[in-house]
Amino acid sequence: MMHAEINWAGVKALSDQCKNFNNMNKNRKTGLVKIIKYSLISLFLAFFYSFSVSAAAPTVEDIQKIQELKLGEEVVENETYIEVQTSTTKTEEACSTCIYGYDFFRSTPTTFALSSNVPVSPDYVLGPGDKLVVELYGNNSNKKDAYLSRTGTFNLPLIGPISLAGLTLSKAEEIISAKVKNELIGTEVFITLSEMRSINVYVVGAAYKPGTYTVSSMASLTNIIFASGGPDREGSLRNIQVKRKGVTLREYDFYDLILNGDTSKDIRLQEGDTIFYPLISNIIKINGSVQRPGFYEFKQGETVSSIFKYSGLANRGKVKVEHSRYDASLDKRMVNVYENFSDPKLQGMLILDDDIISIFSSKTVESSTVHLTGEFLYPGYYDISSGESIIEIIQKAGGMTEEAYPEASVFTRDSVKKLQRESYLKNADNLERSLLDAVSSGSQVDGESYAAMLQFIERLREIEPIGRQVVSVDSYSLRTDPKFNLTLQDGDTLFVPKRSSAIGVVGEVLNSTSHIYDESLSIDDYIQLSGGTTNGADLSKIFVILPNGQALLLKRKLFQGDISSRVLPGSTIVVSRNPDPFNWLNLTSVITPVLSDLAVSAAAIAAISNNN
């Protein structure tokens, strides 16, 4: 019996503290109780957290005990067995100087977990730790569910132990079936592999994450390559070595898998196998007109013809090849140019480490197309590789129909779209800067105006312009003025609508609508037909978008005379909003051209939509 010695000094101290506590006033006593209460709660939570963490993460000793149980003669089924999982996640940025294939392992979670839900091939080799289910039926009925022991034996029901380690699954089934038939007359047997053993493999050398990996016995070399994150930036992908008991069993070329889809050299690993990544020995750089430019690892003895199977050619037409190689004897790079890609001297040339090959495509073989839609006799895509102009491409399309309205043509170009997009972003930044300056300077800012301006800035950043360029494609203009007969570029589009008889009125009017064209009506008349302007209209900033996309800013004084000649069928009259609520931004000079651009784009989109 154990005896505990009482510390009377501690008891007396505790008694004195209790007396002091009772003598405290009520407020101090309440405060002290709260402090003690929260301290106890914090201690309890800390203890609970440490307990839960320690319970959730098995240690190496726990895993070893699990393995020992699996290798024992008799195993009591334990449902708390934890499958060991190894996972590696790379978070590196793109590497511009890494060899091709390295990106297969970048920013990709690679997880490999033990699993018993995969089909097992008949050539699977049994070993200690595999779990078999043997069921007898017929004259004798019995069932055995157990692991192979450390010695590789399995205790067959009603028969006794039998050695199965090192046998394939199909061979084990054959031996067990024969033994049952010979020793248990009238009895059949059913055999299945219910659980596979785990194995330890080593990943070393120039690996991204070297170490020991516990994986399923069904794991193959490629499984471990992906599970371990592949090589590091100096590791080879074309000479991955598998070593077994100190002997190199296989040299694996990862390019066979990612470039050719060839898995014939993939092998299943065994306990104690080592995957070794040697350092890269040979690198060549390929750039220019190829499908996959960059750095490639190559094997000694490869030629130029073989390396182009990796990078591909972006253009199968006429190309020029430049080959650069460092000459140690001269201590400089030597450059050779080959005019013919099929030159046997070039194709059969051995490549060396640090070579550079550049491919240049001839401009004459690059294909370029334009898209013609609308009122053409033969609309569609047309090749302009020969440098066709607008009038030439219209002739290719058979000309325009009788209903065509060339004055309202919509011509778009990618380079114009890019410039418009940059302009929108720049204007959005300028407006945002003006907004911040106004707020920081202490100006009185109306809440609704501030919110509206933020919404407008956001719209400028999100809107995608169509890239419309003002052109004149009517026959008279094209033939009399060479400046209108543009040379077309790849990606250009030309839409010619049907003749329009409408005049649109939008913006700060009571009723934004369209009116039938009447040559006797002026701009002011069309505005009045739309109900007149609103109180928020800026009468000094009214502009007309002509059918060809040209925008004309009109002053109020122009209404004093007859200006109906400025309005053509298909035009749009835009009444701008008065910027007075936004005077604190001084943005009139910025926002007016932006609104004009947006209106032009909207008119072009509407014209295309109405004719489709």
**Separation of alpha carbons 579 and 590, rounded Å:** 11
- Residue 316: the pLDDT is 63
> What's the rounded mean pLDDT across residues 578-585?
58
585 DSSP assignment? G
Contact call for residues 470 and 550 (beta carbons, < 8 A): yes
Higher pLDDT, residue 375 or 107: 375
pLDDT tens, 316-362?
A: 667 788 899 998 888 889 988 888 888 888 888 999 999 999 888 77
**Separation of alpha carbons 41 and 33, rounded Å:** 12
Residue 276 backbone dihedrals phi, psi, to 5 degrees: -120, 125
- Quick one: tokens of 495? 């839409």
244: pLDDT confidence band, cut at 50, 70 and 90?
Answer: very high
Is 80 exceeded by the pLDDT of residue 145?
Answer: yes
Most confident of 81-95, 374-388, 563-577: 374-388
pLDDT tens, 364-388?
A: 656 788 999 999 999 999 988 788 8
- Residue 463: the pLDDT is 82
Beta strands in 196-331 (DSSP E): 198-205, 211-216, 240-244, 247-252, 274-277, 283-288, 294-297, 319-327
- Residue 363: the pLDDT is 63
- Residue 558: the pLDDT is 42
User: 131-195: CATH homologous superfamily?
Assistant: wza like domain (3.30.1950.10)
Residue 297 backbone dihedrals phi, psi, to 5 degrees: -85, 140
Least confident of 101-110, 226-235, 594-603: 594-603
- Residue 438: the pLDDT is 72
Is 70 exceeded by the pLDDT of residue 79?
Answer: no
Higher pLDDT, residue 606 or 193: 193
> What's the rounded mean pLDDT across residues 150-160?
87
- Residue 240: the pLDDT is 94
Indicate the residue type of 216. S
Higher pLDDT, residue 600 or 399: 399
- Residue 444: the pLDDT is 64
Region of 528 please: left (phi>0), alpha (psi -120 to 50) or beta.
alpha
**Percent of the chain, pLDDT > 70?**
72
- Residue 539: the pLDDT is 81
Which uninterrupted H or E stretch holds 476? helix 475-480
Higher pLDDT, residue 356 or 593: 356
Is 80 exceeded by the pLDDT of residue 100?
Answer: yes
pLDDT tens, 470-496?
A: 888 888 888 888 888 989 998 899 999
Secondary structure, 3-state, 155-191: EECCCEEEECCCCEHHHHHHHHHHHHHHHCCCEEEEE
pLDDT tens, 414-464?
A: 998 898 888 888 888 887 887 777 777 766 666 666 777 778 788 878 888
Is 80 exceeded by the pLDDT of residue 50?
Answer: no
pLDDT tens, 298-318?
A: 998 898 888 888 888 766 667
pLDDT tens, 529-555?
A: 888 888 888 887 788 888 887 878 776
pLDDT tens, 167-207?
A: 888 898 889 888 888 888 888 889 888 888 888 999 999 99
- Residue 27: the pLDDT is 53
Q: What Cα–Cα distance (Å) separates residue 39 from each residue in 46, 51, 180?
A: 11, 18, 69
Q: Is 280 helix (H, G, I), strand (E, B) or coil?
A: coil
Higher pLDDT, residue 562 or 569: 569
Region of 105 please: left (phi>0), alpha (psi -120 to 50) or beta.
alpha
Of 145, 176, 169, 142, residue with least CA distance to 157: 142
**Separation of alpha carbons 161 and 156, rounded Å:** 6
- 415-610, which class in CATH? alpha beta
Is 80 exceeded by the pLDDT of residue 248?
Answer: yes
> What's the rounded mean pLDDT across residues 95-123?
69
Domain positions in the chain are 131-195, 283-365, 415-610
0.75 exceeded by pTM:
no
112 DSSP assignment? E
